[in-house]
Structure 1
Amino acid sequence: MNFDDFHKWVYRELGINLASYKPTQLNRRIDSLMSRIGVKSLEEYTKLIKTNYEERQRFLDFITINVTEFFRNPELFNELEGLLKEKVNKEKRPLKIWSAACSIGCEPYTLAMILKEINPSYKHKILATDIDSTILAKAKAGVYTNVEMKNVKKNIMDKYFTKQETKYLISPEIKSLVTFKKHDLILDRYESDFDLIVCRNVVIYFKNEVKAEIFKNFSKALRPGGLLFVGATESIYNYKEYDFSKASTFIYRKV
């Protein structure tokens, strides 16, 4: 079995389209995971994923890149907060927001806390999606460790978290603003009329044509004047092609 065969098997059996990822990077990651668990061939690895739930889950977590924390790149979230404050004050209504590829929920909950600080009287609607059901279950639970909490200021921590031994539990008030749903950025339909879409550190792993399609779909899903916030390594150099203008370094506005 070669990597092409393995990618087809993953798509058929697990519903994840690895053909959309950059192949060299992806295959290096799979090789690294296999050697870490002592598997010698793709045939052997296929059998293991098929029969061992834990290894299958480890593979899915590894491939779908679930590195996350609250207020990741705090200076960029400060810029976003300024733009959101402007938008809320100008439009005087709750916002509709999408946190795409949300992983364990740090990002959508960060957005909920920012919006609560801007204007606590509005009940904003935050949709948070990911391809991985297990990760979404963790996000819904809203239980975190010191690793995810390192950028959270003390006043925000005291206000929106309860500490239980070494864990931090997000408050029901913040939880109530976020709806979690399974969604594949490549295969599934996008909702529309968003005021903000946040998708960070994900499209960097996709091939250019797939990336272009995702940005086109994001643009269609935003209201005029809506914002797209991408990761700190994901500048969109041809942003005008997707009807965007630059609102900030990694934040784009739908024209």
Structure 2
Amino acid sequence: MDLIQFEQWVLKEFGINLSAYKSNQLHRRILSLMSRVGVNTVDEYIALLKKDPNQRQKFLDFITINVTEFFRNPEIFDDLKGKLQSELLPYNKNLKIWSAACSIGAEPYSIAMILDSISPMSRHTILATDIDSTILEKAKKGEYVYSEVKNAKKEYMDKYFKIIGDKYIIDSKIKNMVTFKKHDLILEKYENNFDLIVCRNVVIYFNQDVKNEIYKKFSSSLKKGGLLFVGATESIYNYRDFGFEKASTFIYKKL
């Protein structure tokens, strides 16, 4: 069995469309993972994934790129905070936000902290979605280790975290601002009327056709004047094709 057939098996077994990923990069990742677990063929690997729940989860984590932290690229989050204050909050006190491919919840919780600090009396709603239901369970718990929270400013650490042993436990007020839900960016419909969509360090792994389709759907899901916040390596060069203008380097505004 070759890697194309493996992709078909993964789609059937996990509902993950690997053909959307950049194929050379993806195949290197799969072969690397097979090598790490000591299997030589795709058939052997499938047999392992069928019988070993731990290896299934390792595969899902590896493929769905669950690498994240609070306030990743802190200076870019400062920029977002400024845009929330100047572009969105003057016109709408209760924002509707989507954190797409949210992984362990660090990004939606980071945004909840910013919003609570700059507009504490508002009732913002944050939808946080990911394809991986196991990682969503971790996100709902709101328990982190130092390496995941190390970028958070002292004012946020003091106000929004409780430290128990080596765990950093997020405040219930912040947890209650975020609703987690399983969602596939490639295969499922998107909700509408968002003021802000955050999708960082995920689309970079997809091929150009899939990227374009996702950006088009993000644009449709945003209100006029809404913002799209992307990762530090994800400039959208053809942003005008999707009805955006640049609000800053990694933030785009729907016209």
* Interval of TM-score (by shorter of Structure 1 and Structure 2): over 0.9
- The 2-side partners of 1:89 and 1:75 are apart by 20
- Contact 2:11 2:17 survives alignment (8 Å): yes
Unaligned runs of 5+ in 2: none
> 2:247 maps to what in 1?
247
Q: Where do residues 55-66 of structure 1 align in structure 2 (5 Å cutoff)?
A: 55-66=55-66
- The 2-side partners of 1:101 and 1:232 are apart by 15
Q: Where do residues 69-84 of structure 1 align in structure 2 (5 Å cutoff)?
A: 69-84=69-84
Shift of residue 89 of structure 1?
4.0
1:177 aligns with 2:174: no
1:67 aligns with 2:67: yes
1:117 aligns with 2:117: yes
After superposition, give the CA deviation of every residue in 1:6-34 in whole Å (9 maximum; x if it has no partner).
Answer: 00011111111101111100010011111
Q: Where do residues 82-97 of structure 1 align in structure 2 (5 Å cutoff)?
A: 82-97=82-97
After superposition, give the CA deviation of every residue in 1:114-134 in whole Å (9 maximum; x if it has no partner).
Answer: 000111000100000000000
- Contact 1:88 1:94 survives alignment (8 Å): no
1:86 counterpart letter in structure 2: S
Unaligned runs of 5+ in 1: none
1:154 aligns with 2:145: no
- The 2-side partners of 1:68 and 1:200 are apart by 9
- The 2-side partners of 1:196 and 1:92 are apart by 12
- The 2-side partners of 1:87 and 1:229 are apart by 13
> 2:223 maps to what in 1?
223
- The 2-side partners of 1:123 and 1:5 are apart by 47
After superposition, give the CA deviation of every residue in 1:140-187 in whole Å (9 maximum; x if it has no partner).
Answer: 000000110110111210100000000000000000100000000001
- The 2-side partners of 1:95 and 1:123 are apart by 7
Structure 1 runs (4+) deviating above 4 angstroms are none
- Contact 2:88 2:195 survives alignment (8 Å): no
- Contact 2:162 2:169 survives alignment (8 Å): yes
After superposition, give the CA deviation of every residue in 1:45-84 in whole Å (9 maximum; x if it has no partner).
Answer: 0000011111001000000000000000001000000000
Q: Identity rate of aligned residues, in percent?
A: 62
Shift of residue 87 of structure 1?
3.4
2:243 counterpart letter in structure 1: D
> 1:29 maps to what in 2?
29
1:233 aligns with 2:233: yes
Give TM-score scaled by structure 1 length. Answer: 0.99
Q: Where do residues 121-140 of structure 1 align in structure 2 (5 Å cutoff)?
A: 121-140=121-140
1:221 counterpart letter in structure 2: S
Give TM-score scaled by structure 2 length. Answer: 0.99
Shift of residue 213 of structure 1?
0.2
- The 1-side partners of 2:18 and 2:86 are apart by 39
SS in 2 for 1:65: coil
What do you get for the CA RMSD once the two structures are aligned?
A: 0.7
Change over 3 Å in CA distance of 1:145–1:128 after alignment to 2: same
Shift of residue 92 of structure 1?
4.2
> 1:187 maps to what in 2?
187
- Contact 2:88 2:226 survives alignment (8 Å): no
Shift of residue 90 of structure 1?
1.3
The number of aligned residues is 255
Shift of residue 224 of structure 1?
0.3
Change over 3 Å in CA distance of 1:123–1:52 after alignment to 2: same
Shift of residue 209 of structure 1?
0.3
